[in-house]
Amino acid sequence: MLGELSAQYKQVNTLRTQLPESIVRDYLAGNIAYWEQQLLISMEIINGIKEDHLRYMDEHVRITYYTNTTLKQLETDAWTLLGYLDIGNSLSALPLLLKKPFLPKKIRKTLYLRRKLVVNDQPCTSSENLLAVLQDLALKRKFRKLSKIWDREYSLGDSYAHQFIFGSSYAHKYTFFKNLLFKFMDLVTHIEAAEQLREKIQKMANLRVKAFTEECFVVRTNKKIPVQKMQDRQHPDSTVYNFSDIMDHLAHITSGKTD
């Protein structure tokens, strides 16, 4: 059982490096409901994304943003400018130059999109290009939210040239975060299995096993030794062994050898 517990801990330690460190701590503190809620929010985002749409955006749409305007403001301005086009107006240079002094202020404030956004090497002056921008912004917002929830971000590489050549790779981001959710579920499963096994060991044997550390207290008296959560204090009437020491000792016993 100690060997099985050690194997569970190794699984947990492998998975916890790929997820926020606080998950294990929150689970032990009884706060796992928060992460379960984050999982539901993330699943809703992932399930609302169509993979064929991601592939289309990766293969056929290339948008360059020459502005530091926030995603929220860009989205608001793009909808405003799209509404201006939908009622029959034009964003071509000459007609716009003649009309600009008479345009409503909210329209004039969005005209920077024509210059600052380039869609497939073309200025953002058509309804088609604005719709592509809005779709791109919606995806950016969704993946940014997933990055914030899980404190992880997918990247093709640190090289700007690499990013420029291969684009945003939304399909890869989708797979990355989808796998991250599966890893979270695996992590919780291993934590639960480990905790059940740890409690079972402590009930059956004269051991006190610390959660997710490969140490256990072998009690030499009838006194109960509390499991220390934040520090490695050793009780005067106990001896600390790690799992490998205990497994070696068990091997000696089963082979008929004694120390």
pLDDT tens, 168-215?
A: 589 999 999 999 999 999 999 999 999 999 999 888 887 778 787 766
pLDDT at 254 > cutoff 60: no
Nearest residue to 177 via CA among 220, 147, 157: 147
> Comparing C-alpha atoms, which of 163, 153, 145 is closest to residue 65?
163
Structure tokens at 12: 């947990």
Question: What is the model's pLDDT at position 3?
Answer: 84
Helix, strand or coil, per DSSP, at residue 194: helix
The torsion defined by the Cα of 163, 166, 170 and 174, in degrees rounded to 10, comes to: -90
Is the model's pLDDT at 145 over the cut of 70? yes
Two structure tokens written together for 253? 């016993």
**pLDDT level of residue 42 (50, 70, 90 thresholds):** very high
With cut-offs at 50, 70 and 90, classify the pLDDT of residue 119: very high
- Which residues have CB under 8 Å from 141's CB, separation 6+? 71, 72, 75
SS3 state of residue 12? helix
Give me the residues paired with residue 242 across strands.
Answer: 215
Provide the pLDDT for residue 245. Answer: 62
Q: How confident is the model at residue 34 (pLDDT cuts 50, 70, 90)?
A: very high
Q: Where are the alpha helices (DSSP H) in the chain?
A: 2-16, 22-28, 32-47, 51-60, 71-86, 93-99, 105-108, 112-116, 127-150, 160-166, 170-204, 243-254
What value does the mean pLDDT take over residues 126-150? 95
Mean pLDDT computed over 89-110: 75
208 three-class SS? strand
Token pair 């699984």 is at which residue?
11
Point out the least confidently predicted range of 24-38, 49-63, 148-162.
Answer: 148-162
Average pLDDT, the chain: 81
As a whole number, mean pLDDT of residues 57-86 equals 93
- The whole-angstrom separation of Cα 103 and Cα 67 is 23
Q: Each residue of 70-79: pLDDT tens digit?
A: 999 999 999 9
